[in-house]
């Protein structure tokens, strides 16, 4: 009976850890790591210059854009993860582009549109929102999205274009692997600002263990990242792809928690599971 009880508790904790991909607890030292997601790819020939970045940089591609399939397939050849950059309604009323999701859509229409968008970006392993400051606030709409993401075995990264986003809340309730953006690198593309944001990024990585950064394929950003990323190793910081992050989190959670079967049930029950994935929340991008 005691063994059965342990197994039940282990199962409950495993379900929590597999859905809330948080930075590890402070008592588990890890090497600082940075995840960079390059958004808004698919429209411009100049986007192809992003392939000179390390393969750990994840590409997030807008659906039904001229270069969506070309970029996705070439990224696969490089062993680079790609995501769907799903357009969602913003409070500013900015045009969303093809296959955008609006707050007045019925659930069936949301699901149909998301499926069409995923088909246009082959090999996508996850989804993040393009704009969405109006849409991500709507809990029911986000539930419809998360249900489809779960069906397709994907993860979700909240771009956090609104401080009122419900994405993480809904994702965790449904058991969808998820995390959130902490830094927008290039709202200001000046060299001074890029360096300032990157220094802040490194500080967060050293403090919290993992930091998620969103950037864009601007020429200034690509030049900056090409020069700065090789220096990370000298500071003991690892550049990690977002899919590798989710895979490692799942594997580590399973390995650590399985070993608890050999320990006292009271120790198992008191394990600290951090549910606030990458909780550092800074200002959202303007007009997104």
In a domain, 288, yes or no: no
Cβ atoms of residues 123 and 74 within 8 Å = no
Residue 282 lies in a domain: no
Read off the pLDDT of residues 192-235 as tens digits, 9 standing for 90 and up.
999 999 999 999 999 999 999 999 999 999 999 999 999 999 99
Identify the bridge partners of residue 87 per DSSP, sorted by sequence position.
Answer: 130
Tell me, what's the pLDDT at 273? 29
Q: Is residue 36 part of a domain?
A: yes
Kindly state whether residue 280 falls inside one of the protein's structural domains.
no
In a domain, 145, yes or no: yes
CATH number at residue 94: 3.20.20.370
Average pLDDT over residues 257-277: 33
As a whole number of angstroms, the distance between CA 208 and CA 202 comes to 10
Number of domains comprising the chain: 1
CA distance 181 to 277: 10
**Is 286 part of a structural domain of the chain?**
no
What is the mean pLDDT of the segment spanning 81-94?
Answer: 97
pLDDT at position 281: 36
What is the reported pLDDT for 250?
61
The pLDDT value given to residue 163: 96
Higher pLDDT among residues 94 and 273, named by residue: 94
- The pLDDT assigned to 288 comes to 73
Range of the domain at 136: 2-269
Assess if residue 247 is contained within a domain.
yes
- Looking at residue 22, its pLDDT comes to 41
pLDDT band at 18 (very low <50, low <70, confident <90, very high): very low
pLDDT digits (tens, 9 = 90+) for 119-162: 999 999 999 999 999 999 999 999 999 999 999 999 999 999 99
Q: Does a structural domain hold residue 139?
A: yes
Q: Does 280 have pLDDT greater than 50? A: no
pTM: 0.80
């Amino acid at each position: 009976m005691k063994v059965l009880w342990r197994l039940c508790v282990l199962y409950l904790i495993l379900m929590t850890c597999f859905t809330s991909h948080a930075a590890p607890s402070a008592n588990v030292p890890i090497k600082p790591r940075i995840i960079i997601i390059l958004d808004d790819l698919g429209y411009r020939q100049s986007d192809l210059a992003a392939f000179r970045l390390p393969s750990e940089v994840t590409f997030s591609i807008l659906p039904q854009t001229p270069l969506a399939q070309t970029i996705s397939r070439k990224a696969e050849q490089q062993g680079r993860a790609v995501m769907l950059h799903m357009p969602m309604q913003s409070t500013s009323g900015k045009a969303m582009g093809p296959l955008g999701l609006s707050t007045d859509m019925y659930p069936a229409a949301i699901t149909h549109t998301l499926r069409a968008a995923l088909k246009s970006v082959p090999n996508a392993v996850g989804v993040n929102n393009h704009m969405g400051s109006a849409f991500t606030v709507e809990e029911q709409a986000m539930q419809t999205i998360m249900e489809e993401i779960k069906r397709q075995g994907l993860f979700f990264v909240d771009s956090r274009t609104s401080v009122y986003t419900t994405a993480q809340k809904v994702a965790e309730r449904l058991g969808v692997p998820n995390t959130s953006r902490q830094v927008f690198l290039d709202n200001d593309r000046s060299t001074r600002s890029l360096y300032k944001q990157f220094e802040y990024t490194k500080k967060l990585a050293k403090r919290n263990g993992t930091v998620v950064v969103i950037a864009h394929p601007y020429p200034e950003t690509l030049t900056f990242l090409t020069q700065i990323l090789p220096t990370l190793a000298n500071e003991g910081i690892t550049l990690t792809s977002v899919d590798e992050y989710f895979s490692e989190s799942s594997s580590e959670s399973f390995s650590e928690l399985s070993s608890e079967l050999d320990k006292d049930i009271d120790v198992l029950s008191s394990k600290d599971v951090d549910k606030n994935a990458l909780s550092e929340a800074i200002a959202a991008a303007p007009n997104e």
